[in-house]
Amino acid sequence: MQIYVIAGFEEKASSLPEEILLYSKGDEVIRKEYPFFPKDATEHYYAFPALAIRIGKLGKEVAPRFAARYIVKIGVGLDIIAFQALQKAQKSGTPWEEAVSFQDAVGLSLEGGDFGEDFKDFYTVSFSFKDGEGKGEMTISGKLIATAVSKLSYYRKIRQGDLLLLHPSSPLTPSKNTALLLEREKDVVVIHTPTTYCLKIR
């Protein structure tokens, strides 16, 4: 299993721009019911709520019109970024790995998210801290999901069990409407009905 993120597109767009952000998150997710422990007390960790897609079979250079055949589940996830480390990597032109694919950099729930035969027009994901402070919402079109799966399959051969996280905002420019700055003892809730994911921060 490999985990990928496609970000940096317009909400409700039907296709991806020519230049997108596509990066790897490694191959681990936060285990169910486990909290996130910030490893560096001086780092600013942001959680980018995302629509999560699980790939169901092997594919390469999949055309968008066939993308639905390669999806088995859709749910929600969190793309967790070490923001200061990412800024340093961008300025120095070095790889992003330490900033985006460290241990516990992905939260995920696909329960109740079995995928049907067709994409819906739009998928809406809402997110907030559990106490209600800081919240937002994003909407991703079904057509964009199809183009994203296709784009990934041209970049890398997709395999059963792979995960793709989609969120419009760039991790280089987080805002309170697109991401949550993680704070100790503030749990993050992400919802795409009927799937809900709560990440505890400790």
202 residues of the chain, pLDDT tens digit each: 999 999 999 999 999 998 889 999 999 999 988 999 988 989 999 999 999 999 999 999 999 999 999 999 999 999 999 999 999 999 999 999 999 999 999 999 998 889 988 899 999 999 999 877 789 999 999 999 999 999 999 999 999 999 999 999 899 999 888 999 999 999 999 999 999 999 999 9
CA 176 to chain centre: 16
pTM reported for the whole predicted model: 0.96
Rounded to whole angstroms, what are the CA distances from 165 to 5, 53, 110, 155? Answer: 5, 6, 12, 15
d(CA 127, CA 114): 21
According to the model, what pLDDT value does residue 9 have? 94
Question: Which pair of tokens denotes residue 179?
Answer: 């991401």
Rounded to whole angstroms, what are the CA distances from 175 to 168, 171, 178? Answer: 12, 9, 5
Rounded to whole angstroms, what are the CA distances from 26 to 16, 30, 97, 103, 170? Answer: 23, 12, 9, 9, 18
Question: Which pair of tokens denotes residue 28?
Answer: 């681990």
Strands 3-7 and 163-167, by their bridges, are parallel
d(CA 159, CA 134): 36
According to the model, what pLDDT value does residue 156 have? 95
Residues in the chain: 202
